[in-house]
Structure 1
Amino acid sequence: MRLPLSLFLCIFLCSFKVKAQSKLIVPYIKAWEVSDTSQTHEAEKTYSLLKSKRDVNEYHQIINQMYAYLKDNPDDRLWIRTTMFDVYGRIELGVWKSSEFAKGGPLLIKCIKIASKLKDDQLMAELYAQYAELSPYASSYVLYNLKAIELQKKIGVSHFVYVANRYYNVSLGLYLNEDYKQSINYGRKFLSFDSKEKNGTDPNLHILQIDIIGAAYFRLGNIDDSKYYYQKLLDTLIKKPHTELDNQQLWIAIAKGNIGRILALQNQEDKAIPLIKEHLETSLRLKSFNNVAIAENNLGNIYLKNKAYGKALNEFKNAYRYAIKSNLLKEKALASKGIADVFKVTKEIDSAFAYYALHQKYRDSLTENVNNGKLSAINASIAFDDMQDNLQEANNTISNQRLTRNFILIAIVLLTVISLLFYNRKMLQQKHLAETLARKQKLAEQEANQAKEQILSFTENIIEKENLIFNLQKQLADGYEQLNESLLRYTLVTDTEWEKFRLEFSKAYPDFLPSLQKVLPSISPAEERLATLLCLKLTTNQIANTLGISKDSVGRSKRRLKQRLSLGTESVLEDFICRLV
């Protein structure tokens, strides 16, 4: 019986389609099956095809055919590579929006768990790097980049691509967490990579990295090095212009604006103002409102310093408006303080207090954001360690199950196997206990560091309030004497606050109070308070304001404490107290 021509053609076309589809994924399977040190470069070739073609339909065909192939041919390595390609493609081709990047996290964590069973550090390094790239502002961003760097250095950086990017990412993450020194170290390492090592790296990262280092040096107060890097940024842009004209002009303006800010600090306002104004005008023209806010704040500070209060107030108000528009918390804090400073010197007291309160609110939010970021990073590190422990435990369990199943068939060694498993379990429990104790110790150290930061914040708060009172005393008219006296009577350390302070102080300096009680067993609570404040190196006036007593009372208390400690006339009480830390 002869088949109809139409049916024959249908069968022929269907078979051709199946054959064509299978051919489509052959090069991907071949590249992704590689398990030696060439695997990263082989996989990168497939990513390059994705970037060059940018064919969404073909991408979907590859993914669908690969998952279909894996159903009939299960393979952990192929599944991991397919998932990595899937996540990468969704981001690169815009299948996922930025708000959806987090969806790739659970997929990659699953890949990490499977890769752990394969005991393939090179594959793990790639997964760590890709997981970190999903969200540059996540708490795990620095951690996973550092883990990737660690494994890449162990295996050999020549076996990886975009190695320099990991150092840029760590530098950025550390800068956002205000760890400026380490940010500079990793940033300079990024800049030290030669063009071959940076092959394929986005050229914009070089510009961004110089900016990060310049900003980090500025935050550390090292304005000479900051100026050097912003001049380096300017020279780089002139030597090798940005491919996009708007970006070229904006980055030149940013470099000049930062140089201008530094010149202003060096009392070279005549050179600084034109540079900052160029930064402002370019930012306005290109509608880069965050840079507008920065430039306006810089001009406001110069005018305030030169007592041009009207101009300063106008610049700060503009900065505040654009900072709100761009939702830039740091610039809102700087602008509100600038406005408050102008109102203070022009004796508009109510307005000054209102903007100082606003400034304090923004500062508290900034501090909270940084502290939350640091705490999240610690939690991410603990979670990572827990995951590694669980992976190790799971691998050990699988291994033990296989051993048990095999050794059950050999009766003669059954008791030996049971003994080995029992011993192994005890060792795992001891290891887990040791790791738990180590994590608790790490958390305790973190709590101590946080307590020290709170004690430092407490000390700085006392100094700021004392300066505010001192300045207001100079400027307020006789009609405000009552307000002045009420400020002077303000005490920070009430009984309740003292207990909170004592708790935080003990966390920060756990050895101080026991050492003091050992030297003076009968020490009174009042003497304890005085000693802790002396330990923080507060002045007599600051101690008086904090305890709500007069400076003379502080002096008498210090003399009594010195006598009780049996210190000679040549001994300095403060030095003795500080040596107890």
Structure 2
Amino acid sequence: MYLIYMFSDLTGGLIKRRRIQFSWFIFFLFGAFFPVVVGAQEKLGLDVEKWAIELSKKKLNEVNSLGSLIEQLIESDSIRAIQFLDSLERSPKGKGYFFRTFFCMVKAEVIYAKFAGLDKFKDRKAPSLIPIKEQLMHLYADALDAAYQTENENLIAWVNFYSARRVLQFGEVAWAVMYSKNGVDLFEKTNYALEPPVYTELAELLYQVREYDESIIYAKKGIEAWKSLNYEQEYSDPYKIKIRAFSTIGSSFFRKNRYDSAINYLREALQLAVDNSDSVLEAKVLGEIGKVIYAQANYDSAYTLFKSDYRFSLYDSGFNKAANASQWMAKSNLARGNKIAALAEAKEALQLLRLWPNDQYLRDTYYTLNEIYRSLEMYDSAFFYNDLYIALNDSLEKEIATSSLEISKARLLGEESRYRIEKINKEKQKELWIRNGLLAAIVTFSIIVFLIINRGRLKNKMALEKAESEKLLMEQEIQSAEEQIIDFTSHIIEKTNLIERLEEQLNGTIQWSEQQELIAELSKYTILTEDDWFKFKTLFDKIYPAFFQKLKTNVADITVAEQRMAALTRLELSSKQMAAMLGISVDSVHKTRQRLRQRLQLGSDMSLGEYIANI
């Protein structure tokens, strides 16, 4: 349950009016932004001129709140509502940045309720919903720009706060994160007491976009908020929100590989579930603890915890959660050597995900099946699930990378807008000071102008330097997000290895001698760094002792690249395999082989492979 306030006096603060129940992730009625007071004796009706005057004021009284206008427009037919909004926007009596802020937020809510609500579009990715979303995003941007012009931090915070909830319903997670964070930070700046779930849900959003450090900060604020005010009585099950906060912190520490901290916070969540006899939440937290224990290679204990999570998730009809738990059970059994049981549990996860799809859980299940089939030496099935994993993982990772880019972009645009508006307002203040100085006296005016100009230049210089510094930081964040995309290509080498091994199996060329096993192990390597070359060379020497010494005896000035090509030629690898291992093109492989022939002074009638084989 969240506190919803009416703007009674935007210059003096916010007055608590009433509490209503809502969630960030379900339909939110924006009319609560300025709720209508129960028992109001009068309304303005839909009088354009009166509303133009009313919305231009910094103060809204109890009767003429924005909630009243929104309610009336939603109850009216669509044509009349749009005509009213068009007339209101054109009215000469609608003046100032307060009017622009209020008008944009009212129009956005009416358009959403009339044309884009969940009752109109259950599929939030419908093509016909896109132009409506873009119009609303533009209205929220205009409202925020106008709010910045007012320099009223409470108003700016509310516009950010409620814009976040609406854009989140369109799947714009990056913008929702930025709007929410800006709103919460501004409320804290004005010492406005936020309720615990506000912090908790912001922390969950930050975790979703992998901002783990900030997720931990806001989740901890949510926990502390329960202690500062008497919120316990306002919620029917406050312990559930506390469990979410502790679990978010624990999961964030787990993602940061800080396992001790993760366990400590997850135990706090577990204790709350036990104290409140909530078996379902208890099992879910045990599942999160199981992931940490699994990462510490304690597979037996982890399996037991995953199994508990699986059973209670099924009991609670959370088929997607049960699927994830079953997939983790399969990973644990595979680590324990129970390959057949692991296969059955992974297939069970696939069946459950057909009942309740979840792309992240499906991706993890594909990967687990790939690992199981590889351990069973069923390379055709391993190749199949590896292909499915790569395709889905690339899609999900691109979404995360895109979200990171969008967050950086949103942050950069927000900072640029704020600095631009601050600069404009400072210039206005400067003009006012100059005018007042002229009225006083020429001498006083000269002194004041001198001080203002110097002060203004210093402030502008500092503001510009700060803006440039933060802009550089944003660009670095964007570059970091782009570098994440490069990691997608790392799966190509694994895919090539699977293909080669499958071809060998089908052609019946695999021999199971110790030497062939070492050669097969060598073919897994990628020689991209000096460390890779050292490991490869060590293993190669076990198969062909003194090979490199003989090679250097024949050609004293042979290069490292030529030594690598000679070794791969001795292994009788194809040009395609060599290219994959060295991270170069097939054409580059051919060129290096030709240089090696020249170095060895081989004639056209002598095969490079035969020569190398005799060393």
What CA distance in whole angstroms lies between the structure 1 residues aligned with 2:59 and 2:366?
56
Counterpart in 1 of 2:372? 342
Q: Does residue 445 of structure 1 match 2:476?
A: yes
Q: CA deviation at 1:69?
A: 5.0
2:56 to 72, 75, 93: 75
Q: CA offsets per residue over residues 300-321 of structure 1, 9 Å max, x none?
A: 1122122222221121122123
Counterpart in 2 of 1:181? 213
Q: CA, structure 1 residues 104+83, in 2 after alignment: closer, same or farther (shift >3 Å)? A: farther
Q: Does residue 33 of structure 1 match 2:9?
A: yes
Q: Which amino acid aligns with 1:213?
A: I
Q: CA offsets per residue over residues 340-365 of structure 1, 9 Å max, x none?
A: 12211222211111111111112212
Secondary structure of 1:479's counterpart equals coil
What CA distance in whole angstroms lies between the structure 2 residues aligned with 1:220 and 1:63?
56
Counterpart in 2 of 1:314? 344
Deviates more, 1:381-390 or 1:74-83: 74-83
Q: CA deviation at 1:180?
A: 2.0
Q: CA deviation at 1:292?
A: 1.2
Q: CA deviation at 1:403?
A: 9.1
Q: Does residue 209 of structure 1 match 2:239?
A: no
Counterpart in 1 of 2:605? none
What CA distance in whole angstroms lies between the structure 2 residues aligned with 1:197 and 1:69?
40
Q: CA, structure 1 residues 480+66, in 2 after alignment: closer, same or farther (shift >3 Å)? A: farther
2:360 to 324, 330, 333: 330
Deviates more, 1:216-225 or 1:280-289: 216-225
Q: CA offsets per residue over residues 90-118 of structure 1, 9 Å max, x none?
A: 79xx9984569968765554443443343
Q: CA deviation at 1:373?
A: 0.6
What CA distance in whole angstroms lies between the structure 2 residues aligned with 1:65 and 1:422?
48
Secondary structure of 2:193's counterpart equals coil
Secondary structure of 1:45's counterpart equals strand
Q: CA, structure 1 residues 59+351, in 2 after alignment: closer, same or farther (shift >3 Å)? A: farther
Counterpart in 2 of 1:244? none
What CA distance in whole angstroms lies between the structure 2 residues aligned with 1:82 and 1:293?
48
Q: CA, structure 1 residues 73+335, in 2 after alignment: closer, same or farther (shift >3 Å)? A: closer
Secondary structure of 1:221's counterpart equals coil
Q: CA offsets per residue over residues 531-565 of structure 1, 9 Å max, x none?
A: xxxxxxxxxx9996324799xx99x99xxxxxxxx
Q: CA, structure 1 residues 77+305, in 2 after alignment: closer, same or farther (shift >3 Å)? A: same
Q: CA offsets per residue over residues 503-542 of structure 1, 9 Å max, x none?
A: xxxxxxxxxxxxxxxxxxxxx9x99xx9xxxxxxxxxx99
What CA distance in whole angstroms lies between the structure 2 residues aligned with 1:110 and 1:322?
45
What CA distance in whole angstroms lies between the structure 1 residues aligned with 2:44 and 2:302?
56
Q: Which amino acid aligns with 1:381?
A: R
Q: Which amino acid aligns with 1:178?
A: R
Unmatched tracts of structure 1, length 5 or more: 1-27, 242-247, 494-523, 531-540, 558-581
Deviates more, 1:202-211 or 1:326-335: 202-211
Counterpart in 1 of 2:583? 546
Q: CA, structure 1 residues 124+142, in 2 after alignment: closer, same or farther (shift >3 Å)? A: same
Q: CA deviation at 1:296?
A: 0.8
Q: Which amino acid aligns with 1:191?
A: I
Q: Aligned runs of 1:281-430 on 2, under 5 Å?
A: 281-392=311-422, 395=425
What CA distance in whole angstroms lies between the structure 1 residues aligned with 2:495 and 2:145?
53
Secondary structure of 1:144's counterpart equals helix
Deviates more, 1:425-434 or 1:355-364: 425-434
Q: CA deviation at 1:143?
A: 2.4
Q: Does residue 147 of structure 1 match 2:182?
A: yes
Unmatched tracts of structure 2, length 5 or more: 22-30, 71-104, 119-123, 529-558, 566-577, 597-615
1:276 to 289, 306, 309: 306
Percent of aligned pairs sharing the same letter:
19
2:267 to 222, 231, 243: 231
What CA distance in whole angstroms lies between the structure 2 residues aligned with 1:90 and 1:56?
19
Q: CA deviation at 1:469?
A: 9.2
CA contact (8 A) 2:196 2:226 kept: no
Q: CA deviation at 1:233?
A: 1.4
Q: CA deviation at 1:372?
A: 0.5
Q: CA, structure 1 residues 135+114, in 2 after alignment: closer, same or farther (shift >3 Å)? A: closer
CA contact (8 A) 2:8 2:60 kept: no
Q: CA deviation at 1:66?
A: 9.9
What CA distance in whole angstroms lies between the structure 2 residues aligned with 1:440 and 1:267?
43
Q: CA deviation at 1:299?
A: 1.1
Deviates more, 1:141-150 or 1:421-430: 421-430
Q: CA deviation at 1:479?
A: 1.8
What CA distance in whole angstroms lies between the structure 1 residues aligned with 2:57 and 2:394?
48
What CA distance in whole angstroms lies between the structure 2 residues aligned with 1:312 and 1:433?
59
Q: CA deviation at 1:213?
A: 1.6
Aligned residue-pair number: 462
CA contact (8 A) 2:200 2:241 kept: yes
CA contact (8 A) 2:199 2:218 kept: yes
Q: Which amino acid aligns with 2:476?
A: E
Q: Aligned runs of 1:194-205 on 2, under 5 Å?
A: 194-197=226-229, 199=231, 200=234, 203=238, 204-205=240-241
Q: CA offsets per residue over residues 426-485 of structure 1, 9 Å max, x none?
A: 999989986885576345424542465456666x55885798699989999952589x99
Deviates more, 1:256-265 or 1:224-233: 256-265
Counterpart in 2 of 1:112? 144
1:45 to 5, 17, 33: 17
What CA distance in whole angstroms lies between the structure 2 residues aligned with 1:371 and 1:165?
27
Q: CA deviation at 1:181?
A: 3.0
Q: CA, structure 1 residues 489+258, in 2 after alignment: closer, same or farther (shift >3 Å)? A: closer
Q: CA, structure 1 residues 368+233, in 2 after alignment: closer, same or farther (shift >3 Å)? A: same
Q: CA offsets per residue over residues 284-309 of structure 1, 9 Å max, x none?
A: 23221221111111111122122222
Counterpart in 1 of 2:549? none
What CA distance in whole angstroms lies between the structure 2 residues aligned with 1:428 and 1:134?
36
Q: CA deviation at 1:330?
A: 1.8
Counterpart in 1 of 2:194? 162
RMSD: 5.4
Counterpart in 1 of 2:204? 172
Secondary structure of 1:32's counterpart equals strand
CA contact (8 A) 1:83 1:107 kept: no
Deviates more, 1:307-316 or 1:370-379: 307-316
Q: CA, structure 1 residues 275+424, in 2 after alignment: closer, same or farther (shift >3 Å)? A: closer
Counterpart in 1 of 2:225? 193
TM superposition score normalised by structure 2:
0.59
Q: Does residue 251 of structure 1 match 2:281?
A: yes
Q: CA, structure 1 residues 433+223, in 2 after alignment: closer, same or farther (shift >3 Å)? A: closer
Q: CA deviation at 1:231?
A: 2.3
Secondary structure of 2:183's counterpart equals helix
Q: Which amino acid aligns with 2:324?
A: I
Q: Does residue 138 of structure 1 match 2:173?
A: yes
